[in-house]
Structure 1
Amino acid sequence: MVGCENPNMGEPTASGPVATSEEPTQSPSPPPLPRPPVSLIQPSQRKKGKSTKVFRLFRSVFRSFPILTPPCKLPTLPSGVPESRRNLTGSKVTGTLFGYRKGRVSLSIQENPRCQPTVVVELAMQTNVLQKEMGSGMVRIALECEKRSEKERMKLLDEPLWTMYCNGKKSGYGVKRDATEEDLGVMELLKAVSMGAGVLPGNSDAEGADGELAYMRAHFERVIGSRDSETLYMLSPDGNNGPELSIFFVRL
């Protein structure tokens, strides 16, 4: 009959119990721990005033004098620069060398540990190799690039590509890059560390079980020789007893 509904519609007609086939479900894997929000501040912008104009005037005068170029590309400086002289010739910055043990090491330069990096350079060396070199007591890293024409000239630390030498041996090319999300996360974790060395839990799937990220942070004296030469001298808290590290940026 049209319009008549079966009262048993949708109910099982068998007299016995109904068998159900339910497959066991796997519990979802816990989400990764969220990273702390980045609270690093922007580097301070120094105001330009009359003193800057006077400095530019003197600099233009000194540029008119002939420049004596040493025959060796790598700057030759004494291994131990007196602490008092360093304080008089440069400004202090925070430098951090970090990277996965089997990956390339990166150099981050900050105004202080609370600021975002002003420069990040990926060096042509694995982290574990640099650690072995530091064990020798003295490491000199030279980053060289070619001069540009005056119209294309940029700030020295803005150069995108560098030829790298470690203790006089060419090791490849260093690349300047913008700070990545992972770089900022590392700097955020180390914000309370002024100097020291250790490991951090890695965040790279490619590293597997050996995914620890090693770091070494120290104060560096930044000495600007000219528009084509800058040097970073690591300041050891132990005086002259600790390892010596010097990083040269040279435009030839």
Structure 2
Amino acid sequence: MPPAVVPVEDGSDGAVEEAVHYSCHVSWLAWWNHVRCLLASTFLPCPPAPGAASAIVRGTLFLPSTGDRRVRLFLQEHGLPAAESEHLLVLDLPAGLGGADIAAAGRIVLEYQRQWAPNSGALLNSPKWLVYCNGRRVGFAARREKPSDAEGWVLEKLWAVTAGAGRLPGGGVEYLRGRFERIVGSSDAESFHLVEPIGWQGVNGGDGGLSIFFHRI
């Protein structure tokens, strides 16, 4: 149920009516935002409309064993070495969100709000995102222009891995790597769906597999 609306009086005539209207608007907006986020993380988006553009990209997620323990997400052109491929996206997911959380959710929803910067250009160029995992808001993700030197080393080590999940020898870095189908529904909606039959800690391709959705609202 939406939150109750409580009139606020300040002693002036007509103030109650105005306060009720404002309080009602804010309360319903907060309630709807909560419901919308739950829906987006659990049920949405619907299957892409006929004619939606799609392509195959290479996706890599990895979690360093020490230091900054945020999951990194890299999306790049399929079939090219890391040194030659322009990255579509280099993203730091929120601190505390690990492989087990991603496996439990099966889908990650990232939301960009126009109020942050109304003229933000291409969707994947947005600098920050709200992140929802398993119907729960887990924090913010930050986009970067390119991988760090250490991340580039990891990507080079994984270049020969077509699809798979595990740990890198010596470093203890956990990784998931595979082909993702990129679906562009509109300028404000894109999604990436793991199509390889192997995943990370129980996340598999195909029905019920890992999907990452980007929305601008």
Q: Count matched residues.
A: 169
Helix, strand or coil at the partner of 1:182: helix
Q: 1:192 aligns with which of 139, 149, 160?
A: 160
| Mapped partners of 2:113, 2:71: distance in 1 | 23
Give me the CA root mean square deviation: 3.4
| Mapped partners of 1:242, 1:190: distance in 2 | 26
1:44-81 deviations in Å (ceiling 9; x for gaps): xxxxxxxxxxxxxxxxxxxxxxxxxxx835173489x7
**Gap runs ≥5 in structure 1:** 1-70, 203-210
Matched residue type, 2:153: G
| Mapped partners of 2:53, 2:64: distance in 1 | 34
- TM-score scaled by structure 1? 0.57
Tell me if the contact between 1:196 and 1:218 (Cα under 8 Å) persists in the aligned partners: yes
Alignment of 1:168-179 (within 5 A): 168-178=135-145, 179=147
Q: 2:109 aligns with which of 122, 137, 142?
A: 142
The aligned residue for residue 8 of structure 1 is none
Alignment of 1:1-252 (within 5 A): 72-73=36-37, 74=40, 76-77=43-44, 90-101=54-65, 103-114=69-80, 115-126=85-96, 130-136=98-104, 138-147=105-114, 152-178=119-145, 179-201=147-169, 212-237=172-197, 244-252=209-217
**Gap runs ≥5 in structure 2:** 1-34, 199-203
| Mapped partners of 2:133, 2:72: distance in 1 | 14
Q: CA deviation at 1:130?
A: 2.9
Identity over the aligned pairs, expressed in percent?
34
- TM-score scaled by structure 2? 0.65
Distance 1:240 1:192, change over 3 A: closer
Distance 1:162 1:240, change over 3 A: closer
Pick the structure with greater CA Rg: 1
